[in-house]
Amino acid sequence: MYLYTLLYGIVLALRFTALLHPDFRKRLKEHDMVVQIKLENNKVGRYYIIKDGKISTKSAIHPKPDVTMFFKNRRIAQRVLTPPNDYGELVHAGKNFQMGATGEDKLVCWWMITLGKLLSSGWKVGVKMPNGETRLVNNTNGGPLYVYVKDGKIIRTTPIELDNDDAPSWTVYARGKEFRPPRRATVPAYSLGWKSMINSKERNLYPMKRVDFDLNGERNPQNRGKSGYERISWDEALDIVAGEFKRVKRDCGPGAIALSHGSHHNWGNVGYYLSAMLRFFNGIGFTRVMHNPDSWEGWYWGGVHHYGHSMRLGSPEPFGQVEDCLKNAEMIVFWSSDPEATNGLYAGYEGTIRRLWAKELGIKMVHIDPHWNQTAGFFGGKWIAPKPGTDPALAQALCHVWIEEDLYDKNFVENRTTGFDEWAAYIMGQGDGTPKSPEWAALETGIPARDIRALAREWGKKKTYLGAGGLGGGFGGACRTATGTQWARMMVILMAMQGLGRPGINFGNLQQGAPHDYTFWFPGYAEGGISGDLTHTGSALVTYPRMPHVMSMNNCKQIVSRLQLPDAILNGEAEGYLTDPTSMHGQFSSFKYPAPGHSKIQILYKYGGASIGTMNNSNRWIQMYQSENLPFVVSQSIWFEGETKFADIILPACTNFERWDIGEWASAGGYGHQFYNQVNHRIVTLQAKCQEPAGESKSDYQIFLELANRMGLGLYFSEGCTELDWAKRIFDASDASKMVSWKKFIKKGYYAIPPDEPEARAPTAFKWFYEGRKKDVPEPHPLPADYSEEFQKGLQTQSGKIEFIPESLKKFDDPDRPPLNKYMPSWEGTQTTDLLKKFPLQLISSHARYSFHTLGDGKDSTINDIRDHRMLIDGYYYWIARVNKSDAKARGVKHSDLITLHNDRGSVICAAYLTERVRPGVVQAYESSAVYEPVGEPGKSTDRGGCVNQLTSQRSQSKKSSAMAPNACLIDFKPYLADTTTRNTTAEAHT
Amino acid sequence: MKKWNMIVDVARCHNCYNCFITTKDEYVEQEHKGYTGPQPLHGHSWVDMEYRESGEWPIVETNFRPVMCNHCDDAPCMKAATGDAIKKRDDGIVIIDPKKSKGQKQIVDACPYGAIYWNEEEQIPQAWPFDAHLLDQGWEKTKIEISCPTEVLKSVKVTDKKMQQIAKEENLTTLEPRMGAKPRVYYKNNHLFEAYFIAGTVVTNIENREECLEGVTVTAVRNEEIIGSAVTDGFGEFKIKKIYPDANSITLKVEHEGKIVKTLGVPLEDSTYIGCIEI
pLDDT tens-digit readout, A254-308: 999 999 999 999 999 999 999 999 999 999 999 999 999 999 999 999 999 999 9
Q: How many contacts (CB atoms, under 8 Å) link A and B?
A: 146
Confidence of residue A989 (pLDDT cuts 50, 70, 90): very low
Q: Which residues contact A165 (CB under 8 A, 6 or more apart)?
A: none
Q: What percent of chain B has pLDDT over 90?
A: 95
pLDDT score of A102 more than 80: yes
Minimal Cα distance from B40: which residue of A? A862
Cα A84 vs. chain centroid, distance in angstroms?
Answer: 36
Q: What top-level class would CATH report for the domain B3-49+65-193?
A: alpha beta
- pLDDT at site B249: 87
pLDDT for A217 equals 96
Q: Give the per-residue pLDDT at A1.
A: 67
Report the pLDDT averaged over residues B29-47: 97
- B195-278 CATH, one of 1.10.3720.10, 3.40.30.10, 2.60.40.10, 3.30.470.20: 2.60.40.10
Residue A329, φ and ψ in degrees, nearest 5 = -75, 150
Q: Give the pLDDT band of residue B269 (cuts 50, 70, 90).
A: confident
Q: How many CA atoms lie within 13 A of B109 on its CB side?
A: 5
Interface of A with B in 157-196 (CB under 8 A): 157-159, 161, 182, 184, 186-189, 192-193, 195-196
* pLDDT tens, position by position, B102-148: 999 999 999 999 999 999 999 999 999 999 999 999 999 999 999 99
Percent of chain A clearing pLDDT 70 (strictly above)? 98
Query: pLDDT tens-digit profile of A370-380?
Result: 999 999 999 99
Is the pLDDT at A987 greater than 80, yes or no? no
A374 touches chain B (CB under 8 A): yes
Q: Which of A499, A427, A480 is nearest to A805 (CA)?
A: A427
The distance between the two most distant Cα atoms of chain B, rounded to a whole number of Å, is: 80
| Per-residue pLDDT at A802 | 98
Q: What is the pLDDT of residue B57?
A: 87
| CB contact (8 A) between residue B42 and residue A864 | yes
> A-chain residues within 8 Å CB-CB of B56?
885, 916
* A876 interfaces chain B, CB cutoff of 8 Å: no
Contacts of A454 in chain B (CB under 8 A): 211-212, 234-236
- What does the alpha-carbon distance between residue B206 and residue B219 come to, in Å, rounded to a whole number? 24
State residue A48's pLDDT score.
98
Residues of A in contact with B51 (CB under 8 A): 868, 990-991
Determine the distance in angstroms separating the CA of A456 from the nearest CA of chain B, rounded to an integer: 10
Interface test with B, best of A129, A146, A163, A192 (most B CBs within 10 A): A192
Domain ranges of chain B: 3-49+65-193, 195-278
> Do residues B62 and B52 lie in contact, with contact meaning Cβ atoms separated by under 8 Å?
yes
Confirm whether pTM is higher than 0.95.
Answer: yes
The dihedral region occupied by A810, where left means phi > 0, alpha psi between -120 and 50, and beta the remainder, is: alpha
The pLDDT tens digits for B183-220 are: 999 999 999 999 999 999 999 999 999 999 999 999 99
Does B18 contact A385 at a Cβ distance shorter than 8 Å? Answer: no
Q: What is the mean pLDDT of residues A382-393?
A: 98
pLDDT at A977: 83
- Residue A982 binned pLDDT confidence (cut-offs 50, 70, 90): very low
Contacts of A450 in chain B (CB under 8 A): 203, 209-212, 236
Q: Kindly provide the ipTM of the predicted complex, given to two decimals.
A: 0.98
Chain A residues whose beta carbon lies within 8 Å of the beta carbon of residue B210 = 448-450
Burial class (CB in 10 A: 0-12, 13-18, 19+), A83: exposed
Residue A323: pLDDT band with limits 50, 70, 90: very high
- Residue A870 touches partner B, C-beta closer than 8 Å: no
Confidence of residue A990 (pLDDT cuts 50, 70, 90): very low
Asked if A377 has any chain B CB less than 8 Å from its own CB, the reply is: yes
Give pLDDT tens digits for A922-935. Answer: 999 999 999 999 99
CB A830 within 8 A of CB A326: no
Tell me how many helices (H) and strands (E) chain B has: 7, 17
Model pLDDT for residues A412-434, shown as the tens digit of each residue: 999 999 999 999 999 999 989 99
Q: Which of B15, B55, B146 is closest, CB to CB, to A158?
A: B146
Q: What is the overall mean pLDDT for chain A?
A: 96
In the predicted structure, residue A671 carries a pLDDT above the cut 80 = yes
Task: Write out the DSSP string of A857-919.
Answer: SSTT-GGGG-TTTEEEETTEEEEEEEEEHHHHHHTT--TT-EEEEEETTEEEEEEEEEESSB-
Q: Is pLDDT of A991 > 60?
A: no
Smallest CA–CA distance, residue A658 to chain B, in Å, is 17
pLDDT score of A986: 36
Q: Could you give the CA distance from residue A570 to residue A951 in angstroms, rounded to a whole number? A: 19
Query: Does residue B39 carry a pLDDT above 80?
Result: yes
Q: 3-state class of A375 per DSSP?
A: helix
A442 touching chain B per CB within 8 A: no
Q: Which residues of B are less than 8 Å from A182 in CB distance?
A: 151
Q: Which of A158, A448, A863 sits opposite B147 (nearest CB)?
A: A158
Chain A nearest-CA distance from B239, in A, is: 11
How would residue A978 be classed by pLDDT, with cut points 50, 70 and 90?
Answer: low
Those residues whose C-beta lies under 8 Å from the C-beta of residue B61, and which sit 6 or more positions away, are: A377, A380, B53, B54, B55, B197, B271
Closest chain B residue to A446, measured at CA: B58
Would you name the residues of A annotated as active-site residues? 264, 294, 525
For residue A875, pLDDT over 90 is answered with yes
